[in-house]
């Protein structure tokens, strides 16, 4: 009996010991938890993540970083939007015109009575006053309007969402729920900027005249923007070369607006490198492209031979009083939100053929050698994901406009969106590579088949395309 009692006590002690050990381990696994007197334990990391996400989404969608000083005060874009009848100049910009140049409307910002009137056709989409009403509702994706006490549009600013969000067309083409991170391939940035009545400041920056500036802006077309133009002044690629063959001359230097989703886990995030990853590009765009009020530093832009416009204007070291900086403090949350945006998930039978994609999977990591650079499941290289123009068989024009003369290995998650033309006008679907030189994915496959001598058969090429359309980010 005594032995049994001792045995029971030993077992009990072992159980208590293991329970204590498990409790210690549980505490160790939650090292970010803290005891607050009178409160339950808090997981600070989780709370921080949630707050960064919410703050980042708000910044991405609505923060102008104070760029109204440029788009409103300098370019006077708001006067062209309002039109003469509403205190501005010219005919004004109606919702019909806005949708035609690729601007989008957030249906979730519209009150129900307005939605019902839209359904009944009782809203005049040819009246600029309707555009002003949408701006007051903050319903035009990526454009924020400021109104004075009399209700007159007094300025406008732009946000990240202008270029890097679209809508799902759930209400009508160009009107729907927001899709953050989706590049707006319908947006004609050049046409929007060209609405400005005064582009003299841009002409002065580029050492040219306003008619030339407007000609360059009109050359971009939907879904494109030339960020490097304001660094080097090079508006056109004199000779586009693919696989050793000249495929175009004096091609506009604008590149396709990149997606801002599926960016977690790898390094460079722009078409050319090595500019930098998300936080660099956010600072660069916010200060130098959107013309927000913030600090920016990159001494590489002091290279007058490579970046004459940037060097002459001191873009490599933009300084500002910390109290007036509307950009820097927002970069952490903005980066966090962008890294949280997943690529769209393709659906078998709708976006790709499952049987063909299964065969293409074997080709991707085998005969076609795609996985050598587009490493699964990031679909780009972990580490230094950059290559010289000769390695991918194209000209060096755009690469030469970047610091190191190289191109980024494109991450492929969600690429079916472009091939199928999801939530974009039919004429704007497709277009691959930084400048959209390849119309379809099959064109891309044909290019690599020729450049690397892969010897793919036509059925194999088609299977490979179906596999590419099946990819999403991890």
Mean pLDDT (whole number) for 390-402: 96
Non-local (6+) Cβ contacts of 121 within 8 A are none
Residue 345, H or E segment:
none
Q: Is the pLDDT of residue 135 over 60?
A: yes
pLDDT at residue number 21: 40
| Residues 170 and 107: beta-carbon distance below 8 Å | yes
pLDDT in tens, 243-289: 999 999 999 999 999 999 999 999 999 888 779 899 999 999 999 99
Q: Is the pLDDT of residue 13 over 80?
A: no
Rg (CA), the chain: 26
Q: How many angstroms separate the Cα of 17 from the Cα of each of 5, 8, 14, 29, 242?
A: 18, 14, 5, 18, 69
Mean pLDDT (whole number) for 187-204: 97
| Residues 253 and 328: beta-carbon distance below 8 Å | no
Coil vs helix vs strand at 73: helix
Is 42 inside any structural domain?
Answer: no
Give the pTM.
Answer: 0.91
Q: Is the pLDDT of residue 1 over 60?
A: no
pLDDT at residue number 10: 38
Is 396 inside any structural domain?
Answer: yes
Is 167 inside any structural domain?
Answer: yes
Domain boundary among 180, 210, 238: 180
pLDDT at residue number 41: 72
Beta strands in 243-356 (DSSP E): 245-252, 255-256, 272-273, 296-297, 317-318
Buried b (16+ CB within 10 A) or exposed e, 322-342: eeebbbbebbebbbbbbbbbe
Mean pLDDT (whole number) for 186-212: 97
pLDDT in tens, 423-441: 999 999 999 999 999 999 9
Token pair in block for residue 160? 């990240």
Is 275 inside any structural domain?
Answer: no
Q: How many angstroms separate the Cα of 73 from the Cα of each of 38, 153, 214, 310?
A: 52, 12, 19, 22
Read off the pLDDT band of 32 (50, 70, 90).
low
Which of 55-64, 188-197, 273-282, 390-399 shows the lowest mean pLDDT across its residues? 273-282
Is 309 inside any structural domain?
Answer: no
Name the domain count of the chain: 2
Domain boundary among 180, 209, 229: 180
Burial class (CB in 10 A: 0-12, 13-18, 19+), 313: middle
| Residues 364 and 471: beta-carbon distance below 8 Å | no
Domain boundary among 180, 208, 241: 180
Return d(Cα 399, Cα 433) in angstroms, integer.
12
pLDDT at residue number 23: 43
Could you tell me the residue range of the domain that residue 399 belongs to? 354-469
pLDDT at residue number 39: 62
pLDDT at residue number 223: 98
Read off the pLDDT band of 194 (50, 70, 90).
very high
pLDDT at residue number 252: 97
What's the distance, Cα to Cα, between the start and end of the chain in Å? 61
Q: Checking DSSP bridges between strand 296-297 and strand 317-318, what pairing results, if any?
A: antiparallel
pLDDT at residue number 443: 98
Q: Is the pLDDT of residue 18 over 60?
A: no
Please state, for a pLDDT cut of 90, what percent of the chain lies above it. Answer: 89
Read off the pLDDT band of 19 (50, 70, 90).
very low
pLDDT in tens, 403-417: 999 999 999 999 999
Return d(Cα 380, Cα 277) in angstroms, integer.
14
pLDDT in tens, 223-242: 999 999 999 999 999 999 99
pLDDT at residue number 474: 84
CA atoms within 13 A on the CB side of 272: 23
pLDDT at residue number 273: 74
Q: Is the pLDDT of residue 9 over 80?
A: no
Mean pLDDT (whole number) for 350-359: 98
Is 390 inside any structural domain?
Answer: yes
| Residues 234 and 398: beta-carbon distance below 8 Å | no
CATH number of the domain that residue 389 is part of: 1.10.760.10
Is 252 inside any structural domain?
Answer: no
pLDDT at residue number 89: 97
Is 459 inside any structural domain?
Answer: yes
């Amino acid at each position: 009996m005594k032995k049994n009692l001792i045995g029971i006590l030993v077992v009990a002690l072992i159980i208590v010991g293991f329970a204590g050990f498990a409790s210690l381990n549980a505490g160790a696994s939650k090292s970010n938890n803290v005891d607050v007197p009178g409160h339950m334990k808090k997981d600070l990391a989780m709370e921080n993540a949630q707050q960064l996400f919410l703050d980042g989404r708000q910044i991405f969608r609505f923060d102008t970083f104070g760029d109204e000083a440029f788009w409103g005060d300098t370019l006077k874009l708001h006067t062209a939007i309002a039109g003469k009848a509403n205190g501005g100049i010219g005919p004004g910009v109606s919702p019909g015109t806005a949708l035609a140049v690729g601007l989008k409307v957030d249906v979730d910002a519209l009150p129900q009575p307005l939605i019902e009137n839209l359904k009944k056709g009782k809203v005049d989409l040819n009246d600029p006053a309707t555009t002003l009403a949408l701006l007051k509702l903050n319903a035009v994706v990526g454009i924020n309007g400021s109104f004075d006490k009399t209700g007159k549009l007094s300025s406008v600013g732009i946000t990240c969402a202008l270029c890097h969000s679209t809508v799902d067309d759930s209400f009508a083409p160009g009107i729907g729920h927001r899709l953050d991170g989706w590049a707006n391939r319908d947006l004609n940035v050049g046409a929007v900027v060209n609405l400005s009545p005064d582009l003299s400041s841009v002409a002065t920056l580029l050492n040219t005249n306003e008619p030339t500036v407007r000609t360059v802006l009109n050359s971009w077309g939907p879904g494109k923007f030339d960020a490097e133009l304001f660094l080097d002044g090079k508006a056109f690629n004199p000779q586009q070369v693919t696989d050793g063959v000249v495929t175009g001359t004096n091609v506009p230097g604008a590149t396709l607006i990149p997606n801002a989703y599926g960016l977690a886990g790898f390094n460079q995030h722009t078409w050319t490198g090595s500019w930098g990853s998300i936080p660099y590009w956010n600072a660069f765009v916010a200060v130098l492209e959107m013309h927000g009020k913030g600090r920016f530093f990159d001494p590489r832009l002091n290279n007058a031979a490579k970046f004459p416009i940037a060097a002459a204007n001191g873009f490599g070291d933009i300084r500002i009083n910390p109290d007036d900086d509307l950009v820097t403090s927002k970069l952490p949350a903005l980066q966090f939100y962008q890294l949280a945006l997943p690529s769209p998930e393709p659906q078998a039978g709708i976006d790709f053929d499952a049987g063909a994609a299964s065969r293409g999977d074997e080709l991707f990591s085998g005969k076609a050698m795609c996985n050598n650079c587009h490493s699964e499941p990031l679909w780009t290289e972990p580490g230094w994901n950059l290559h010289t123009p000769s390695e991918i068989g194209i000209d060096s024009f755009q690469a030469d406009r970047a610091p190191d003369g190289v191109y980024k290995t494109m991450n492929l998650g969600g690429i079916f969106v472009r091939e199928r033309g999801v939530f974009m006008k039919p004429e704007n679907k497709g277009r691959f590579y930084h400048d959209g030189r390849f119309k379809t994915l099959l064109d891309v496959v044909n290019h690599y088949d020729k450049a690397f001598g892969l010897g793919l058969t036509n059925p194999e090429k088609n299977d490979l395309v179906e596999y590419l359309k099946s990819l999403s980010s991890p």
